[in-house]
Amino acid sequence: MKAGLRSIQTIATRAERYGERCGGPVILAGLVVGLGVVQLASGPLGLTSRFSLQLLVLLVLQLVGPMLVALLSLALLLPRWLERYNQPSSGVEMEGIAAAAVVGALLELLFLAAAICGGVLGTPRSDLIGELRDLLGGVLLIDVARACLRAGVFLAAVCGWSQWRSQRNRRLGRDPGQLVSDQLAEGLVLLLSLKLLWITLIDPLHLSTSPS
């Protein structure tokens, strides 16, 4: 019982540290994506503000959200992971993987909220509150849950992979200075592979329609 409580506390502490490091950049990325997508959709594409916001939510939940969150988190957390997992006494830490999964899901929620705020800033001001209410009413919790699950799985996967690569390179006696650039490139390939596997086999692209 005490061991389980200590494990939960460790996961919560690490998730908090990961969130503090990644929260700001994720919010900034969400604002940029939201503003850019809505301006592009309502400008060159000629969509109404309502359809522009719907397109934004579709992209964030189904295509770019979990992938971008995991990639940003990988770039920000990889130096810490390498510093920790390159120690001679380090092994596979399930607490670190679990913390990465938790913070990945929470960062996806943060990214979605920031993207919607950015999209709202880029829409015309006519009946903005009504359009935003219709938009939020049309998004089902299952779609948000799937996106959060993907982000959590992606970040947990790259965390576990980082641990394995660090241990392997330590056994082979390779220079730790080369690990950051190597693992960033390999992590990007891993995330792209996971994304392709997810959208083709596990959960094909779709957006649930809310019952009217």
Task: Say what the pLDDT of residue 14 is.
Answer: 86
- Cα separation, 162 vs 73, in Å, equals 13
Q: Is the dihedral of CA 124, 130, 132, 138 positive or negative?
A: negative
**In the structure encoding, which two tokens stand for residue 15, read together?**
């998730």
- Cα separation, 26 vs 62, in Å, equals 17
Task: Say what the pLDDT of residue 91 is.
Answer: 54
Residue 22 has pLDDT above 50, yes or no: yes
Report the percent of the chain where pLDDT is more than 90: 20
Helix (H, G, I), strand (E, B) or coil at 38: helix
**In the structure encoding, which two tokens stand for residue 64, read together?**
């770019």
Provide the mean pLDDT of the chain. 80
Q: Where are the domains of the chain?
A: 2-202
Residue 181 has pLDDT above 80, yes or no: no
Task: Say what the pLDDT of residue 31 is.
Answer: 92
Task: Say what the pLDDT of residue 88 is.
Answer: 56
Tens digits of residue pLDDT in 40-63: 887 776 777 777 788 888 888 888
Task: Say what the pLDDT of residue 175 is.
Answer: 64
Task: Say what the pLDDT of residue 40 is.
Answer: 84
- Cα separation, 193 vs 173, in Å, equals 28
pLDDT top residue among 166 and 112: 112
pLDDT top residue among 151 and 10: 151
- Cα separation, 21 vs 19, in Å, equals 5
Report the percent of the chain where pLDDT is more than 70: 78
Tens digits of residue pLDDT in 107-144: 999 999 999 888 887 776 655 666 667 667 667 788 88
- Of 52, 104, 78, 101, residue with least CA distance to 165: 78
Helix (H, G, I), strand (E, B) or coil at 142: helix
Task: Say what the pLDDT of residue 209 is.
Answer: 45
Mean pLDDT in residue range 149-164:
90
Residue 79 has pLDDT above 70, yes or no: yes
Helix (H, G, I), strand (E, B) or coil at 8: helix
